[in-house]
Amino acid sequence: MVTEYTATARAHSNIAFIKYWGNREPGIRLPANSSLSMNLAALHSTTRVTWSEALAEDSLMINEQPAAPAAFLRVRAHLDTLREELGSTLYADVASKNNFPMGAGIASSASAFAALTVAATIALGLRLPERELSALARRGSGSAARSIPAGFVEWRAGGADKESYAETIASPDYWPLEDVIAVISPDHKHVGSTAGHASANTSILQRARVESAADRLESAKQSVLARDFEALAPVVEEDSNLMHAVMMTSKPSLFYWLPKSLRIMLAVREWRHQGLQVCYTLDAGPNVHCICGAEDAAAVAARVKELDSDIEVIRSSVGGGAQIMNVNDRIG
């Protein structure tokens, strides 16, 4: 008789207003600074985990294809962490689907590792508190910690593994912002964020960025809580610029921006001066996330298309937290 424990979970991607870049302890992804983000309702990963006594090794399918070796090794390492933390010796079949392009600077690792962590724990019959799920998801991908709680989320860096988790600061319906993403290139990024984090300290600017991050986070947090777009916009752009300044001055230097990215960033500033509620932020990729007041999102999407009709635009409102889709134990 073989026992299988299966569960499916869904988690949303998130976009950081205050970025996480660089680790204090890379092995367990303890971040150099705290960060702040908003979940993206339109972008999600749905992941099914089956732990089974019949398996002799782990396996991973992504979007119905066998995963590339690098993705498989990263997921297997996270399954090792989960086995160790949850006290299991079973292997797992993992099948994950994203509804958005992978590795394009839209954090597929955040939603993927959050969904994997929830499905894996639920399948084993464990209903862990949100903080523990967030800290566990963080071990797979730092930003995944922020895809566990709902809405607007703060991840406090913390001084130790169990203290480094994310929590909601405001629910998804607290402030109807939208992310209008200008997808400049859906290709896989040239240097992934794990390698990027590892090089952050080679920039002389990283120390200044980290030392000043708490002030920016407090300012961004108060702006979100006050629903004050005018106050939020400059700090979001400054924080993104600072992270990219660190990336560009690391050794070797990392340039994620493309000429089209800069064109949109400059246009966004212009549109804001003209009265639209919009500001930009970029992750480890060339796509420009235009954070908008909901009433201006359609106009911003139209203007991006006017600038360059080849650019695909994805719009997303504020998303909820990771959720369980299905639980199904099979004994056969």
* Shorter beta-carbon distance to ligand PMV: residue 141 or 287: 141
Q: Could you give the 3-state DSSP secondary structure of residue 12?
A: strand
Task: Give kind and range of the element (H or E) at residue 212.
Answer: helix 206-225
Q: How far apart are CA 264 and CA 181, in angstroms?
A: 11
Q: Which of 244, 264, 257 is nearest to 311 (CA)?
A: 264
Binder to ligand PMV among 47, 134, 143, 203 (CB under 6 A)?
143
Q: How far apart are CA 62 and CA 236, in angstroms?
A: 32
Q: How far apart are CA 201 and CA 217, in angstroms?
A: 20
DSSP 8-class letter at 81: H
Smallest distance from ligand PMV to CB 144, Å: 6
Binder to ligand PMV among 16, 166, 254, 276 (CB under 6 A)?
16
Please list, residue by residue across 141-177, b when 16 or more beta carbons sit within 10 angstroms of its beta carbon and e when fewer do: bbbbbbbbbbbbbbbbbbeebeebbbebbbebeebeb
* Shorter beta-carbon distance to ligand PMV: residue 35 or 121: 35
* Shorter beta-carbon distance to ligand PMV: residue 83 or 146: 146
The region of 102-110, 210-218, 258-266, 295-303 touching ligand PMV under the rule CB under 6 A is 102-110
The region of 43-51, 105-113, 269-277, 322-330 touching ligand PMV under the rule CB under 6 A is 105-113
Q: Which of 122, 146, 103, 145 is nearest to 47 (CA)?
A: 122
* 91 binds ligand PMV per the rule CB under 6 A: no
Binder to ligand PMV among 6, 8, 35, 223 (CB under 6 A)?
35
Binder to ligand PMV among 8, 39, 111, 193 (CB under 6 A)?
193
Binder to ligand PMV among 10, 19, 76, 189 (CB under 6 A)?
19
Q: Contact residues for ligand PMV (CB under 6 A)?
A: 16, 19-21, 35, 107, 109-110, 141-143, 193-194, 197, 283-284
